[in-house]
Structure 1
Amino acid sequence: MERAMEQLNVQLNRLTRSLRRARTVELPEDNETAVYTLMPMVMADQHRSVSELLLNSKFDVNYAFGRVKRSLLHIAANCGSVECLVLLLKRGANPNYQDISGCTPLHLAARNGQKKCMGRLLEYNADVNICNNEGLTAIHWLAVNGRTELLHDLVQHVSNVDVEDAMGQTALHVACQNGHKTTVLCLLDSGADINRPNVSGATPLYFACSHGQRDTAQILLLRGAKYLPDKNGVTPLDLCVQGGYGETCEILIQHHARLFQTLIQMTQNDDIKENMLRQVLEHVSQQTDSNYQRILTSLAEVATTNGHKLLSLSSNYEAQMKSLLRIVRIFCHVFRLGPSSPNNGNDMGYNGNKTPRSQVFKFGKGLIVDVRDMDLPCFSYASAVVQPLELLWHSLDEWLVLISTELDRKCGDATSSSPGTDIASLLLKQREADPSVAMETPALLPPSLDPEVVMKTPEAYVDGQDVISMTANRLSAVIQAFYMCCSCQMPQGMTSPRFIEFVCKHDEVLKCFVTRNPKIIFNHFHFLLECPELMSRFMHIIKGQPFKDRCEWFYEHLLAGQPDSDMVHRPVNENDILLIHRDSIFRSSCEVVSKSTNEKLKQGIAVRFHGEEGMGQGVVREWFDVLSNEIINPDYALFTQSADGTTFQPNSNSSVNPDHLNYFRFAGQILGLALYHRQLVNIYFTRSFYKHILGIPVNYQDVSSIDPEYAKNLQWILDNDISDLGLELTFSVETDVFGAMEEVALKPGGTSIQVTQENKAEYVQLVTELRMTRAIQPQINAFLQGFHTFIPPSLIQLFDEYELELLLSGMPEIDVLDWKRNTEYTSGYDTEEPVIQWFWDVVESLTQEERVLLLQFVTGSSRVPHGGFAFIMGGSGLQKFTIAAVPYTSNLLPTSSTCINMLKLPEYPSKDVLRDRLLVALHCGSYGYTMA
């Protein structure tokens, strides 16, 4: 029995040893392999396993491995494996060993906030003053991440809290940059130098301001931080403004009052983004009413100074003009934010302290209008905040009066002395008559037109037009500034009565400016585009400019503020694609357009037909082309054909379709969208309808488009004396409404008012308006509502009805010679190739309709843009019609790539084969897209 027990114990011991051997992995002898066995255990802090493996091993615990040459102690410190870290330290791991970047285990523990690891490393004499390759110490890492609790423990072991990294930055610099308030306080309490500059001269305050760290900047300023620029002269305030950090700017100004004027002067610096300045001034102005008043008054003073410089011919026009308008834009932005703004919903007759403000507008001499007599909110133009600008407006008014006087003198006496002398004498008279003007004149007048200078050199000013050439742009810029200031004090959409009176007063001079340089309208006279009443005064001058110039102005202002993009929007997801069904193109288009936002449609259009793969510019062009044909489809009863059979106008009986007004609105959207993106539509309207779009009154001659015989009768009435003809006409007409005749009065009581020789012109006009306007007014209004979604009325009025047709529908005829001149060849074709010569022979023999089909087949559109084939658009801009060679095989048809306007023409063996294949392609393949 004892022997049996002894044998059993031996077997158990063997089994135990065997199990141990099976459970334990011995470390490989080479360090490279061993370290990768230990590393995952160290990362997981499996200290018992690590201890067993190291027990009888010859492994070097300081072995550096990997690309960065770190030891296992680095790994433990980085991962917070405290037990393994202590084990390694006990086995002789070096706490100050540096990896390839110069980092010790203490650096890594500090960076990751491993407090226990930091403590153990310090117990084993880790050196807190060691710098890595960038000069960073452990306290830098703590400061970067705002680990204040650990910093308190570490600074006790630091010999120099202001140790610098390679850029001369201390821990205080980086703590300030990252806005760690408690860390900043800890470092300051530990003796950190608050004004220590780095290698570029940047102090901790500079770093705080560079990232808009308001609270950190506040701490530094309260502790006595100096306001110092860097070596390039960039100040903390510069940094705050560049970043739009209004709160930090406010702190700086609170501690250094002189910086307020510096901030105001920055509005003249073109290197600083205007939107950043707005953010800063907006914040500062909103803190107190006194801040608001002070900022506006200061901005007004700076604007006035810049305006006077602009009026000096010796100044740089471009620089001064940009500076003035920039300051005024900022002024208006801040003004609209305050209690005096007419748009903020407050009582604008009072400021924040409920102090009554003046309620009058000052117009010209002797003219004062009390706004209480107007249906407007109460506010004052002549309040203290804008009073400094009155000097500039006074100077502007003087200039325009002087030029007007000179123009009148020139018209009245062509042989009189030079205008410069007369202007000089007028100025001298003003000085004598008004001593206050005498004090102002030297400061307000340009040196080159100072009276004494002009009188000494009258030959320099030969006629009044020279004075206009020298001053028009400068004065126009000041007028723009005046308009902006007036507008910011009016409710949205209203033009200031004061400014209207100003334009009326100086009407002739302003017209003279525009006549000499029409671009002034679009550079400075924005008020004309925003105020139809004023625009009407200048319209004849604008309409006199070349159509091409007006098109450029139109699109320049239409697309202002839109991001640059390709003509076709490339969507980021399927939801941005307009998916259209060909079998219901009108209804499906109406549905998808209504679901899309106007802003997305302005940015670009992507169209795909259901069941087809093709996308791109050609598909977009075809969509507009086909959809415009559907708009005039009789099935929708929206438009009726005119007497000439080629043009259309709204159907007065369109209400037979219950959704007719919604459809008219959609039709307006499509035409507006086409014009916005410079796409052509395959539809021509009557001249009267183009007039309705433009807001031009119709006349009796427009009636001929729908009823030529009736128009002749109206003409006859106007041309002949009807006194004794016994026509017995009254101011009423009979109109067919769904087959029933109804009598409609042309004006109140019209059925009993006889038409006479004296009032026949009125009768003709009223009849015209009834037939051409009143009968379809709801349809016109709905159409314009959609059209104006994309095309502002103020811009489209730059054109007449004939030009609008060109813009919308292109040239009605196809000029083959122009087409041929503006065609390019590729893939082996040139003008001398027989196939190319046969092709043009065939094109010349085609009917106009077949040429349209060919153009539509290749480009996706059946219209030629204004200017001819040289201006055909492709997927990324202008893209000429192109013909590319394709190897011929039997019965092969021509194909096309509409996105690049390319016809892929096989090398046919004869002209007859080419003509046959081309006609088959045109009549059978002009619709539908697949991926090429």
Structure 2
Amino acid sequence: MERAMEQLNRLTRSLRRARTVELPEDNETAVYTLMPMVMADQHRSVSELLSNSKFDVNYAFGRVKRSLLHIAANCGSVECLVLLLKKGADPNYQDISGCTPLHLAARNGQKKCMSKLLEYSADVNICNNEGLTAIHWLAVNGRTELLHDLVQHVSDVDVEDAMGQTALHVACQNGHKTTVQCLLDSGADINRPNVSGATPLYFACSHGQRDTAQILLLRGAKYLPDKNGVTPLDLCVQGGYGETCEVLIQYHPRLFQTIIQMTQNEELRENMLRQVLEHLSQQSENQYLKILTSLAEVATTNGHKLLSLSSNYDAQMKSLLRIVRIFCHVFRIGPSSPSNGIDMGYNGNKTPRSQVFKPLELLWHSLDEWLVLIATELMKNKKNSADITSILLKQKGHDQGATSIPPFEPPEPKSYENLSTGPGESKPDAVAVKQEANADCQDVISMTANRLSAVIQAFYMCCSCQMPPGMTSPRFIEFVCKHDEVLKCFVNRNPKIIFDHFHFLLECPELMSRFMHIIKAQPFKDRCEWFYEHLHLGQPDSDMVHRPVNENDILLIHRDSIFRSSCEVVSKANCAKLKQGIAVRFHGEEGMGQGVVREWFDILSNEIVNPDYALFTQSADGTTFQPNSNSYVNPDHLNYFRFAGQILGLALNHRQLVNIYFTRSFYKHILGIPVNYQDVASIDPEYAKNLQWILDNDISDLGLELTFSVETDVFGAMEEVPLKPGGGSILVTQNNKAEYVQLVTELRMTRAIQPQINAFLQGFHMFIPPSLIQLFDEYELELLLSGMPEIDVSDWIKNTEYTSGYEREDPVIQWFWEVVEDITQEERVLLLQFVTGSSRVPHGGFANIMGGSGLQNFTIAAVPYTPNLLPTSSTCINMLKLPEYPSKEILKDRLLVALHCGSYGYTMA
């Protein structure tokens, strides 16, 4: 054992001697031999190598031209660093970026290395190429302990970098409290500006460093803007730094009002302002009330400016609605904000919180007077059979140099007697109303509708923020009813105003019903545009097919159980992601794109009405479907109805067509439209005729002895079901027969399938809000969901493109369209499905067919012919790849084979 150890020691000494005999003669090779030893602080090995070498310890190597002393300082290799310094290494040698070893030691917090470098006369005032000194590096990283040692050697603690920034600037920016205190104790200039005029306080606020800002303010830092006029508060608000804003306000209370005024600045992001005011409002009840009252006052001033015809409509409208949105947000999130549903401030509740709305009452009063005046003039014009254009404002006649139009106000200001007014208020001008019409005049409704509508929207928002979600303020309902005629006039003039300002109509069915006839009178195309514009409002831009970030976002479907597997994956999927886009892949297939998505919807359409699931039953005509009242035979029927609703909602959301048609009554159920006796004909034509006969004839003396109860199938057994309470004892008479017919209709068409309808709508409304779908009637909804039932070949030809060598006049193309004309309607549907993935044409015809990235025309591309070659397709771009067949007969044969054998299943073609 001893002999073995001796041999091992001898071997070790031999290896060491062999390794440390000498360095290579050239510095380039030698430095790369020494560098790993220096990094590991193997000072003995380095010492041995250097002892018998002419190596230049100041040799600079590598891309950045650093010496071994830089390496030692950077890595904290103290022993090697001392050894190199003793060998004559220059402690102030600068690499290509101007950094000395002291810079690197300071940057990495190598305290011992810093001490040794200072012992060997390292210059702490040397700047690198960016003007940074060692003190800057310590300040950047908050190395306060090292800073205490270093400042004793610094001649100027306020030494500036190339941008004029001192160590105090960077320490404040990075939020290093103790470092800031150390620098200030060492004499740092607390208000020193950099080259752009930014002080340390400015730097602290730019990154929301509350603590360092507080230290500076406590020590007397001045509140100064930079050379561009940007203040510390501006920076805090831009970043949403509520805590830092709070500190600034503590030392400069006047800044509170500045923040309130900032709500009018369009350039500031609204969510950042909300963040700041939300934080400030949470500090105390008094602060909360002060913020709300101040916001209400600013909103009132802006609202009166908006009502003045001399103001910039667009700017004032945006400003008012922005302030009111912020006001409502703060109101809802205030400290211990009540949620008892009391309409505070609008039902006589005199709590402190209700008083914050008081300034806005001036604005609502002006709004009311405008609407009353317009209603009065409308009535006058009706009586005189004159056109509303007699209400005019004269725009010329102002003194030279005048820049505004006098506010338009009612002739009798009696209602203002008990109302204090401010400089921003707008009162209708009696003189202007009476001015005579001329060529320079404008219709007052055209001039005021948008302005008044914006204020009405603000009024609605303020009313709503005090109510529980989903409830409309009684005061606002009363307001709409009071000004019904004027508001209808506004909507008639500009129906899109409902979407721009009258959101309350969409959100409140009670109010929307008063205006629905106006909306339904608008072109179907316009309503479709409004529908999709607001359906996708606020969603990020995305392709029609969602490009998932991971496999979990892909709907992986099994073809052999497409209904159940689809139901399972959709129920687990993220609803928000499905709204943005859909990615579908069939298990065991590689294809994934728009064509696959369309195929999925197409197949699911057929599966939803598959009799095996007992969800829907065919109508009397055999072409449409109605929920099956006996669907309970399937234990999962309500879950499946919910899934069916999700699929139709998703299809409508993404403009995909479904291969299914429902009865008119079911479309009415989706829209929330009451059914009538004529809808019964779809499920029982004979019964519908009987109901029609009752309505058309006098039944007084017929002795029918009908009562308000009927026999119906309840869980497989016939039972007497009352149509209303006590219906079995109420006879049907000539006077109440219309009620009887309606109640029978509701029982047959609605009550019998109410659970199924509810489940379906629960899924449908996950993707389609009830407020938006009500823009359509039952016929239009069918077009939106299922497209045109027939294929117009001439429209198809008109909207087809040709590529890869084909032209419309080519023989192959002419043969192709002749074949399309010859084949059956069913085969045309197969062809359409083969190329586009969908068997339906959207509303508007082939010009509106969608591709993978938007509208994409049906396209035919040339492919070289080989015997027996079948046509293929790229469904994502709606392209038919048609070989150059030598005859019409071969083309037709090959095309039909492809259609009947290959309509399902896609590759990445």
**Could you tell me the TM-score, scaled by structure 1's length?**
0.92
- Share of identical aligned residues, percent? 86
> C-alpha separation between the residues in 2 aligned to 1:677 and 1:425?
47
Aligned match for 1:530, one of 485, 492, 507? 507
Contact 2:139–2:179, Cα closer than 8 Å, also in 1:
yes
Q: Deviations over 1:532-585 (max 9, x none)?
A: 111111111111111111111111121122211111111122222111111211
Residue in 2 that maps onto 1:632: 609
Q: Which one-letter code corresponds to 1:770 in the other structure?
A: L
C-alpha distance in 1 between matches for 2:696 and 2:13: 131
> Does the alignment pair 1:30 with 2:35?
no
Q: Hey, what does 1:190 align to over in structure 2?
A: 186
How many angstroms does 1:667 deviate by?
0.9
Tell me by how many angstroms 1:765 deviates: 1.1
Q: d(CA) in 1 for partners of 2:815 and 2:333?
A: 70
Match of 2:815, SS?
A: helix
Residues matched between the structures, number: 888
Q: 1:444 aligns with which of 425, 435, 458?
A: 425
1:743 counterpart SS class: strand
What SS class does the counterpart of residue 300 from structure 1 fall into?
helix
1:89 aligns with 2:102: no
| CA deviation string 1:462-485 (max 9, x = no partner) | 78xx11110000000000000001
Q: Hey, what's the Cα distance between the residues in 1 that align with 2:416 and 2:272?
A: 44
Which of 708, 712, 731 is the matching residue for 2:685?
708
Deviation at 1:450, TM superposition (A): 2.7
Q: In the TM superposition, what is the alpha-carbon distance from 1:725 to its structure 2 partner? A: 2.2
- Whole-angstrom CA distance in 2 between matches of 1:381 and 1:832: 80
- Would the aligned equivalents of 1:212 and 1:240 in 2 still touch at CA under 8 Å? yes
Change (3 A) 1:770 1:50: same
> 2:890 is paired with a residue of what secondary structure?
helix
Larger mean CA deviation between 26-35 and 834-843 belongs to 26-35
Q: What is residue 68 of structure 1 aligned with on the other side?
A: 64
User: Which runs of structure 2 are paired with 1:153-552 in the superposition (5 Å)?
Assistant: 153-339=149-335, 341-343=337-339, 362=346, 369=347, 383-414=354-385, 418-420=390-392, 430-431=412-413, 434-436=416-418, 440=421, 443-445=424-426, 450-455=429-434, 458-459=437-438, 466-552=443-529
Compared CA separation, residues 623 and 455, structure 1 to 2 (3 A): same
C-alpha distance in 2 between matches for 1:723 and 1:191: 107
Cα gap change, 1:639 to 1:511, in 2 (>3 Å) = same
Quick check: 2:411–2:430 contact (8 Å CA) kept in 1?
no
Alignment of 1:895-914 (within 5 A): 895-914=872-891
Determine helix, strand or coil for the equivalent of 2:516: helix
Separation of aligned partners in 1, 2:186 and 2:669: 79
| Residue matched to 2:76 | 80
1:8 equivalent in structure 2: none
* CA contact 1:341–1:488 (8 Å) conserved in 2: no
Alpha carbons 2:288, 2:335 under 8 Å: kept: no
Distance 2:488 2:16 in 1: 106
* Contact 1:857 1:925 survives alignment (8 Å): yes
Deviation of 1:488 (Å): 0.6
Choose the corresponding residue for 2:128, options 121, 125, 132: 132
- 8 Å CA contact 1:419–1:462 kept in 2: the answer is no
Q: Which of the numbers 630, 640, 648 marks the counterpart of 2:625?
A: 648
Deviations 1:635-688 (A, max 9, x none): 111111111110010111111212111111111111111111111100000001
Partner of 2:882: helix, strand, or coil? strand
Deviates more, 1:51-60 or 1:20-29: 20-29
Change (3 A) 1:619 1:532: same
Structure 1 CA distance for aligned equivalents of residues 276 and 732 of structure 2: 69
In 2, distance between residues paired with 1:636 and 1:81?
A: 77
Residue aligning to 1:152? 148
Pick which of 151-160 and 379-388 moved more.
Answer: 379-388
CA contact (8 A) 1:265 1:302 kept: yes
What is the identity, as a one-letter code, of the residue corresponding to 2:412? Q
Residues 191, 225 of structure 1: alpha-carbon distance in 2 compared, 3 angstrom cutoff: same
Work out the CA distance in 2 between the residues paired with 1:336 and 1:742. Answer: 52
Matching residue's letter, 1:265: Q
Matches of 1:761 and 1:520 in 2, distance apart?
Answer: 38
What are structure 1's unaligned runs of at least 5 residues? 1-13, 350-358, 363-368, 372-378
Matches within 5 A, 1:8-23: 21-23=17-19
Aligned AA (2:279): H
CA contact (8 A) 1:361 1:381 kept: no
**Which AA in structure 2 matches 1:430?**
E
Instruction: Give the counterpart letter for 1:660 in structure 2.
Output: H
Asked if 1 retains the 8 angstrom alpha-carbon contact of 2:308 and 2:407, the reply is no
Further displaced range: 64-73 or 750-759: 750-759
**C-alpha distance 418-380 of structure 1, shift in aligned 2 (>3 A):** farther
Query: Is the contact between residue 381 and residue 489 of structure 1 (CA under 8 Å) also seen in structure 2?
Result: no
Deviation at 1:67, TM superposition (A): 1.1
Q: Distance in 1 between matches of 2:409 and 2:353?
A: 26
Find the counterpart in structure 2 of residue 9 from structure 1: none
Q: Deviations over 1:831-890 (max 9, x none)?
A: 011111100000011111100000001111000011111111111111111111111111
| Matched-pair contact (CA < 8 Å) for 1:139–1:151 | yes
Partner Cα separation in structure 1 for residue 823 and residue 71 of structure 2: 83
SS where residue 883 of structure 1 aligns?
strand
Contact 1:418-1:461 within 8 A present in 2 as well: no
Encode CA deviations 1:335-369: one digit per residue, 9 max, x unaligned.
011257443x7xx99xxxxxxxxx8755xxxxxx5
- Note the 1:787-826 alignment, pairs <5 A: 787-826=764-803
Amino acid at match of 1:392: L
Asked if the contact 1:342/1:489 (under 8 Å) is kept, the reply is no
Determine the structure 1 residue equivalent to 2:649: 672
Cα distance change, pair 18–730 in 1 and its aligned pair in 2 (3 A)? closer
CA contact (8 A) 1:418 1:459 kept: no
Partner of 2:3: none
Whole-angstrom distance in 2 between the partners of 1:590 and 1:441: 62
Separation in 1 of the partners of 2:784 and 2:433? 49
For residue 474 of structure 1, give the secondary structure of its aligned residue in structure 2.
Answer: helix
Distance 1:634 1:433, change over 3 A: closer
Are positions 1:924 and 2:905 aligned together? Answer: no
**How far apart, CA to CA, are the structure 1 residues paired with 2:104 and 2:865?**
72
Distance 1:195 1:549, change over 3 A: same
Note the C-alpha offset of 1:766: 1.4
C-alpha separation in 2, matches of 1:487 and 1:205: 41
What one-letter code is carried by the residue in structure 1 that aligns with 2:85? L
Q: Output the amino acid matched with 1:61.
A: V
Provide the rounded CA distance (Å) in 1 between the counterparts of 2:834 and 2:179: 72
CA shift for structure 1 position 726: 2.5
Structure 2 match to 1:875: 852
Equivalent of residue 725 in structure 2, options 727, 734, 748: 748
- Is the deviation greater in 676-685 or in 718-727? 718-727
Rounded to whole Å, the distance in 2 between the matches of 1:614 and 1:26 is 66
Q: For the structure 1 residues 135 and 543, does the alpha-carbon distance in structure 2 shift closer, same or farther, using more than 3 Å as the test?
A: same
Please say if residues 419 and 461 of structure 1, whose CA atoms lie closer than 8 Å, have aligned partners that are also in contact.
no
Q: Gaps spanning 5+ residues in structure 2: where?
A: 1-9, 395-405
Find the aligned partners of 1:515 and 1:100 in 2 and give their Cα distance.
74
Per-residue CA distance 1:89-138 (angstroms, 9 max, x = gap): 11111111111111111111111111111111111111111111111111
**1:750-770: per-residue Cα shift (whole Å, max 9, x none)?**
233222211111111111111
